[in-house]
Amino acid sequence: MARRRTKSPNPIKKWWRSKKEFHFQAYTSMTLLSLGITMFSFIQLFFMDFAQEASDNMVTMIWAGLIGGAFALFYVAPEFFYFYDKKQTLTEILALDSRAEVMRRRKDAEIAADLLGKSFQSRLKELYEMMGISIPKRYSTLSTPAQESPRISSEEE
């Protein structure tokens, strides 16, 4: 049987998928911006007597901000909370001092680190090195935060 051909993603989707390490920061920024616009519009419209003193154009802009911000929050906030949950999971795993517990939760930690980007991957690699756990090949090229810090030679002291 012939396989069904899938469409290749458009250039914007390709670009977004290639920037995995910035997804958490982008979703955080979009959520905070949408929440700020929504709250500002809500306060201006319902608590500040803005509608009585402002022109019709300003009231229309405030309504657009309220509806647009709420609409954006509806789509962006669940993604933000998904990434935030992964960050919390990884933070809990990085705080563990039991090798057996880290090994048990290894899959969750690697999924979270891959979603959150290189800085979290390098922190996970450092934990693996400290615990004596074998490091996955995809993390072998990363430098750990301890390796990134500049070393002071004895001459400079």
pLDDT greater than 60 at residue 134: yes
pLDDT at 155: 45
Burial 121-149 (b: 16+ CB within 10 A, else e): bbbbbbbbeeeeeeeeeebeebebeeeee
Question: How does pLDDT run across 99-127, given as a tens digit for each residue?
Answer: 899 899 999 999 999 888 888 988 998 99
Alpha-carbon distance of 76 to 74, in angstroms, equals: 6
pLDDT greater than 90 at residue 30: yes
The 3-state DSSP class for residue 119 equals helix
**pLDDT band for position 154 (cuts 50, 70, 90):** very low
53 phi/psi in degrees, rounded to 5:
-95, -20
